[in-house]
């Protein structure tokens, strides 16, 4: 989180907030919430302070109090940079939004970029890019242009570099793109927002003059919720006969889309297949797998390889 968002501008309030975080890390969210309330008496318009208070109340089981604090957070941040609406939706206070605020996702990954690979690969056992690449390699194809959507720090790029004549990467986070640039794997990197309609997304900076014959999206759609807009953009990006390899977290027995405790979205197989059919893709391979670890939990997911029909 940017430093200017962490400080209240009041030394006493900041000190109380620091103590509150220590109490929370020590397993005392009740005490942390009480101290955070004292800090907010001094700076009642401190948005991130209200967000921290909400998390402490939620951990301590004070759901009504957490909802109140998340509402206040959202009220103080017109762009919802902290994703308070997602929290309110998970707690049942508001309807689940079709998409999270782009500014929230961008900030999340800008903050995460420096430790992304260590946290995700080393600690959470993340290997979706390698699994997805093996599925794509099984086609035996060599692609003229591959577009890696939500490329992040570039974990997918090295896996598919040898399969493509040209490799382009797109991501919402500039900090993640900077990390991907350090790998010297991509021929082109650019910022793009898959939650926006195609021509506003940043995927078609050349006016749509060229089309990809491979598009990948490893653990990207889990941050989008309703995937209608994203699939329309991918369909526009793909040439006829192009392959689209992607992953989703799975809802299990549920149909459609579900917002998980992690504030990521899970999607059902039936929902994905219906989107593929609607946007001119035929699923040619599918594999259920572990997406990642989340604490002590194993997150199940599905890998898809779909081909755009003429």
Could you tell me the residue ranges of all domains in the chain? Answer: 3-95, 110-308
Structure tokens at 153: 């720090």
pLDDT of residue 5: 59
Expressed in percent and rounded to 5, the helix, strand and coil fractions of the chain are 45, 25, 30
Q: How far apart are CA 283 and CA 303, in angstroms?
A: 10
pLDDT of residue 205: 60
Structure tokens at 229: 């807009």
pLDDT of residue 4: 45
Beta partners for residue 238, in sequence order? 212
Grouping H, G, I as helix, E, B as strand and the rest as coil, residue 57 is: helix
Q: How far apart are CA 247 and CA 301, in angstroms?
A: 7
The residue to which tokens 């903050």 are assigned: 111
The residue to which tokens 């577009």 are assigned: 147
pLDDT of residue 53: 97
Question: Tell me, what DSSP letter sits at residue 207?
Answer: -
Taking Cα atoms as reference points, which of 166, 142, 171 lies closest to residue 154?
A: 171
10-residue block means of pLDDT along the chain (310 residues)? 66 94 95 96 95 96 97 93 94 93 90 78 80 97 96 94 95 94 94 86 66 94 94 94 96 84 93 96 96 81 94
Which string of DSSP letters, residue by residue, matches 147-170? EEET-TTTSSHHHHGGGEEEEEEE
pLDDT of residue 1: 47
Taking Cα atoms as reference points, which of 219, 170, 212 lies closest to residue 191?
A: 170
pLDDT of residue 208: 52
Taking Cα atoms as reference points, which of 31, 10, 7 lies closest to residue 21?
A: 31
Grouping H, G, I as helix, E, B as strand and the rest as coil, residue 267 is: strand
Count Cα neighbours of 266 within 13 Å in the Cβ-side half-sphere: 19
- The CATH code of the domain at 3-95 is 1.25.40.10
Q: How far apart are CA 13 and CA 148, in angstroms?
A: 44
Q: How far apart are CA 21 and CA 303, in angstroms?
A: 38
Structure tokens at 265: 């979205």
CB atoms within 10 A of CB 162: 10
- The CATH code of the domain at 110-308 is 3.40.50.150
């Amino acid at each position: 989180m940017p430093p200017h968002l962490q400080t209240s501008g009041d030394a006493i309030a900041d000190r109380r907030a620091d103590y509150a975080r220590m109490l929370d890390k020590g397993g005392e969210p009740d005490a942390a919430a009480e101290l955070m309330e004292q800090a907010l008496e001094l700076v009642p318009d401190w948005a991130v302070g209200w967000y921290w208070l909400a998390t402490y109340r939620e951990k301590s089981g004070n759901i009504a109090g957490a909802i109140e604090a998340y509402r206040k957070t959202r009220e103080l941040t017109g762009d919802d940079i902290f994703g308070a609406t997602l929290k309110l939706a998970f707690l049942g206070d508001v309807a689940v939004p079709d998409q999270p605020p782009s500014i929230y996702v961008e900030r999340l990954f800008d903050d995460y970029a420096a430790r992304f690979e260590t946290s995700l690969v080393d600690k959470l056992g993340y290997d979706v890019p390698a699994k997805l690449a093996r599925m794509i390699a099984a086609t035996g194809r060599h692609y003229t242009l591959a577009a890696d959507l939500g490329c992040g720090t570039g974990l997918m790029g090295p896996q598919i570099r040898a399969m493509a004549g040209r490799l382009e990467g797109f991501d919402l986070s500039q900090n993640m793109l900077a990390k991907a640039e350090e790998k010297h794997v991509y021929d082109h990197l650019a910022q793009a927002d898959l939650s926006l309609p195609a021509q506003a997304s940043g995927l078609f900076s050349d006016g749509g003059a060229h089309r990809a014959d491979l598009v990948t999206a490893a653990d990207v759609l889990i941050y989008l919720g309703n995937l209608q807009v994203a699939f329309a953009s991918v369909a526009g990006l793909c040439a006829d006969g192009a392959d689209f390899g992607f992953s989703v977290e799975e809802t299990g027995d549920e149909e459609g889309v579900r917002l998980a405790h992690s504030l990521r979205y899970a999607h059902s197989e039936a929902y994905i297949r219906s989107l593929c059919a609607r946007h001119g893709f035929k699923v040619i391979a599918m594999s259920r797998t572990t997406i990642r670890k989340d604490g002590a939990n194993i997150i199940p997911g599905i890998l898809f390889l779909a081909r755009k029909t003429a």
